């Protein structure tokens, strides 16, 4: 696994281009996927993160993770139907819908758009946590095609899949998923960066600077809440963020004592101008 550090969006895109060029020059058909995180946490699906956190504090469970995961999905199927415009045709689609609306599943979100990946690293963090963008270079043999005949809970290894478009948000977000294998003996999922098959395929990009300026550049490129979440919630969130990003007065700092004096002289002239 490679680790890179960036302070500018141009540095990030330079890393992406370098990996893309290597794919082209090697005549490979590998695919690049991106995942932005506002905290530097392991690449584990939601259901695993919650389960591991609870075990740390010694709270016992009535069921193992695999059993309770199935119970959660069955409960979602029973209760969600009145709110669905179209019923999913397979458990792959059911998992996609549940993940999309916030339920804890064995899926982990990715995108094939590097700028969308950067966008999802934007939210404020507490303390000294770093924002990170993960880049996954994946071979076609690791991509699985979901069908009615394949069971997402019976996979023999962690794989990647492109979901059916069960939500309009999946289109602008260019969404993909990794679906993680559950280790029944240890009752846990293995983080992607600790998976021997995936570790060498990952690049971890650490954002060392405030991401505000990067968000301005993304907005200029049409990457914002309004475009990625095509509903009124997304629009309102975009307007709230835009108020902060674009209504901030920029003060140019003087580069030297001479320029500082010149700045004061210009300010004095402007005050006495008719």
The reply to whether the predicted model has a pTM over 0.75 is yes
Tell me, what's the pLDDT at 248?
57
Q: How remote is the C-alpha of 10 from its chain's centroid?
A: 19
DSSP state of 125: -
pLDDT exceeds 60 at position 250: no
Tell me, what's the pLDDT at 53?
59
pLDDT averaged over the chain? 84
Question: Does an H or E element contain 68, and which?
Answer: helix 65-80
- Given a contact cutoff of 8 angstroms between Cβ atoms, the answer to whether 138 and 75 are in contact is no
Q: How far apart are CA 227 and CA 239, in angstroms?
A: 12
Phi, psi of 179 (to 5 degrees): -110, 125
Identity of the highest mean pLDDT range in 82-91, 212-221, 238-247: 82-91
Q: How far apart are CA 42 and CA 184, in angstroms?
A: 20
Tell me, what's the pLDDT at 51?
67
- Given a contact cutoff of 8 angstroms between Cβ atoms, the answer to whether 115 and 221 are in contact is yes
Q: How far apart are CA 100 and CA 109, in angstroms?
A: 9
Residue-wise pLDDT for 29-87, tens only, equals 999 999 999 999 999 998 988 766 565 556 667 778 888 899 999 999 999 999 988 88
Tell me, what's the pLDDT at 176?
94
Tell me, what's the pLDDT at 274?
54
Q: How far apart are CA 11 and CA 209, in angstroms?
A: 12
Residue-wise pLDDT for 72-92, tens only, equals 999 999 999 999 888 898 999
DSSP state of 83: G
């Amino acid at each position: 696994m490679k680790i890179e550090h960036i302070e500018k969006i141009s540095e990030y895109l330079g890393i992406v281009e370098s990996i893309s060029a290597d794919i082209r020059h090697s005549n490979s058909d590998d695919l690049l996927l991106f995942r932005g995180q506002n905290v530097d946490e392991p690449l584990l699906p939601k259901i695993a993160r919650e389960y591991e956190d609870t075990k740390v504090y010694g709270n016992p469970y009535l069921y193992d993770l695999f059993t309770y995961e199935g119970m959660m999905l069955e409960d979602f199927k029973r209760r969600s139907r009145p709110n669905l415009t179209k019923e999913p045709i397979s458990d792959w689609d059911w998992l996609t819908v549940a993940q999309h609306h916030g339920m804890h599943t064995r899926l982990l979100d990715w995108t094939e758009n590097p700028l969308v990946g950067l966008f999802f690293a934007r939210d404020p963090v507490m303390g000294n946590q770093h924002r990170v963008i993960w880049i996954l270079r994946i071979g076609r043999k690791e991509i699985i095609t979901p069908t009615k005949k394949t069971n997402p809970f019976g996979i023999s290894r962690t794989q990647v899949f492109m979901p059916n478009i069960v939500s309009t948000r999946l289109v602008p977000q260019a969404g993909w998923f990794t679906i993680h294998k559950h280790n029944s003996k240890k009752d846990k999922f293995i983080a992607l960066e600790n998976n021997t098959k995936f570790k060498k395929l990952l690049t971890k990009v650490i954002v060392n600077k405030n991401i505000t300026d990067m968000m301005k550049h993304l907005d200029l490129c049409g990457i914002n809440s309004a475009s990625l979440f095509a509903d009124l919630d997304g629009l309102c969130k975009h307007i709230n963020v835009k108020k902060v990003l674009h209504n901030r007065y920029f003060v140019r700092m003087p580069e030297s004592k001479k320029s500082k004096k010149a700045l004061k002289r210009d300010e004095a002239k402007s005050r006495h101008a008719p």
